[in-house]
A and B are shown apart, each in its own frame.
Chain A
């Protein structure tokens, strides 16, 4: 997967590291390149991983430009929408967060230029990671579920596996996946590159408002799944779909149930008891660790 985004010379260096275990690579302009294995950070040297700062490779501007161009399959224009939103999703589900100079045009972001930092996150499919919680999520129908964790907590991996389990013959739910940032199914030329099961339809690259409204009308889903709900518009879309009798599976950034209560716009979903299950993930021991499950009254369910 990583060979799709890195120049050959750089990939050869990366190959000297335990490449399959890499979870994150941070490349900052004229700074030392940092590689994460699990939750531990190392510098990247010509000989592989190192703790020695002096041996670390410094990222040149050309490296950043080459990676962006290669990640965009030599078609940066085709990724305009992603770039102006500060990310790129590459074949295989690799997510690249971008920073640089934001160009505004009439109050909206036009593009991101002079890209100076790349946060490359490598997905790791963990088949079956949701199995311990599945009995708590399905009671005849799928209960509206919200996965809660801080960034890097394993939300996407968990959602992907829940969708996979739900859209297997054993559960047989028709799932509509709204993959706004191409992170869950990672559709590439229309085809999902990550396994999300047999009963799943995918709407990629669209906002939740459009997808929820059209999805409910046209695709007759049992469940709508989406990643990272974050603003009042997203919450409205969820309220709408939920009021139409469609179950919801979503995720949100928060450090726990108390953080969630503090989100002003989110209160509308809490008050309406839209979600029946809150799955709290943490990074304490490893990403994706299931800390707790709460019900619609925010009461802890014993695992």
Chain B
């Protein structure tokens, strides 16, 4: 019974470590995907004058599952298949690893695309790419620094608890 309990505590510590690690990785991947999406958006608008819903659809499956889900619901919102409220709900649910300010900034960007002239759109996307370069760098550093560190720390913690119990 005691050994079984120790194994459970150890596994819990490992799971917490994995979750913390994946939190950092997910944030990093999200910003990288967002940057890649914005670059695609920039190219499609500058050179092809492509419509927004088509750009979004063409970008499906270029990204990981989280980001694809966002793109799918954004397309549904653009095509009036879901309301603004449902779109925001879906974003909040899928991007639980972003804080409120980050989600608000993303929503502001998504809502603002497509309402201006080509030059203004290009300018806006350029600025947004510049703006998200800061969190990309930060998240890269954080992932390097903390993701493995926390993972290892929780394994050590699990082992320590196990040793103490034994």
Binding site for B on A (CB under 8 A): 8, 65, 69, 72-78, 80, 83, 111, 189
Is B117 within 8 A of A78, CB to CB? no
Chain A residues within 8 Å of B53, by CB: 73-75
Q: How far is the CB of B85 from chain A (nearest CB, A)?
A: 13
Looking across the interface, which residue of chain A has its beta carbon closest to that of B116?
A76
Main secondary structure of the interface of A (DSSP, over half): helix
Separation of A74 and B112 alpha carbons in the complex (Å): 10
Chain A positions within 8 Å of B115 at CB level: 65, 69, 74, 76
Q: Which of B23-63 contact A (CB under 8 A)?
A: 45, 49-54
Write out the residue numbers on chain A whose beta carbons fall within 8 Å of the beta carbon of B76: none
Q: Does B126 contact A (CB under 8 A)?
A: no
The residues of A that contact B117 with a CB separation of less than 8 Å are: 76-77, 80, 83, 111
A72 close to B114 (CB less than 8 A): yes
CA–CA, A178 and B48, complex, Å: 22
B118 and A69 contacting across the interface, CB-CB below 8 Å: no
Q: Is the CB of B72 closer than 8 A to any CB of chain A?
A: no
- Please indicate the chain B residues that have their CB under 8 angstroms from the CB of A77 in the complex: 45, 49, 114, 116-118, 120-121
B residues at A contact (CB < 8 Å): 45, 49-54, 78, 80, 113-118, 120-121
B51 partner residues in chain A, CB cutoff 8 A: 73-75, 78
List, in ascending order, chain A residues with CB within 8 A of B50's CB. Answer: 75, 78
- Complexed CA–CA distance, A83 and B78 (Å): 20
Other-chain residue from A8, A78, A111 in contact with B49 (beta carbon distance below 8 A): A78
Which of chain A's residues have a CB closer than 8 A to the CB of B80? 8
A78 to B54, CA, bound (A): 11
Residue of B nearest to A73 (CB): B51
B45, B114, B120, B121: the one within 8 Å of A69 (CB): B114
A293 to chain B, nearest CB (A): 42
Q: List 11 A-B contacts (CB under 8 A).
A: A72-B114, A73-B51, A73-B53, A73-B78, A75-B50, A75-B53, A76-B116, A77-B45, A77-B120, A78-B49, A111-B117
A73→B118 CA distance, assembly (Å) = 14
Q: How far is the CA of A8 from the CA of B83 in the complex (A)?
A: 11
Smallest CB gap from B51: residue in A: A75
Interchain CA distance A245-B113 in the complex, whole Å: 48
B143 to chain A, nearest CB (A): 34
**Which residues on B sit within 8 Å (CB–CB) of A189?**
54
> Which residues of B lie under 8 Å from residue A69 when comparing CB positions?
114-115
Cα-based distance from A111 to B118 in the complex (angstroms): 10
With both beta carbons as reference points, the residue of chain A lying nearest to B53 in the complex is identified as: A73
Question: CA–CA, A65 to B115, complex, Å?
Answer: 9
CB closest residue in chain B, given A83: B117
Most chain A CB within 10 A, of B45, B113, B117, is at: B117
11 more A-B residue pairs beyond the given contacts A76-B116, A77-B49, with a C-beta to C-beta distance below 8 A? A69-B114, A69-B115, A73-B51, A73-B52, A73-B53, A74-B51, A74-B52, A74-B53, A74-B115, A76-B115, A83-B117
**Chain B: CB-nearest residue to A74:** B114
Q: Which residue of B lies closest to A113 (CB)?
A: B117
Identify the closest chain A residue to B49 (Cβ): A78
The answer for the CA separation of A253 and B49 in the assembled complex, in Å, is 32
- Complex Cα distance A71/B118, Å? 16
B113: shortest Cβ distance to chain A, in Å? 8
A121 CA / B11 CA spacing, docked (Å): 68
Q: Which residue of A lies closest to B48 (CB)?
A: A78
Cα A75 to Cα B116 in complex, Å, equals: 8
CA distance A186 to B78 in the complex (A): 21
Closest Cβ of chain A: how far from B55's Cβ, in Å?
Answer: 9
The residue of chain B having its C-beta at the shortest distance from the C-beta of A68 within the complex is B115
Distance in Å: Cβ of B82 to nearest Cβ of chain A: 12
Contact call A80/B118, Cβ cutoff below 8 A: yes
Residues of A within 8 A of B49 (CB): 77-78, 80
> Which residue on B lies nearest to A112, using beta carbons?
B117
The 8 closest A-B pairs by CB, nearest first: A77-B118, A74-B114, A75-B51, A75-B52, A77-B121, A75-B114, A78-B51, A74-B78
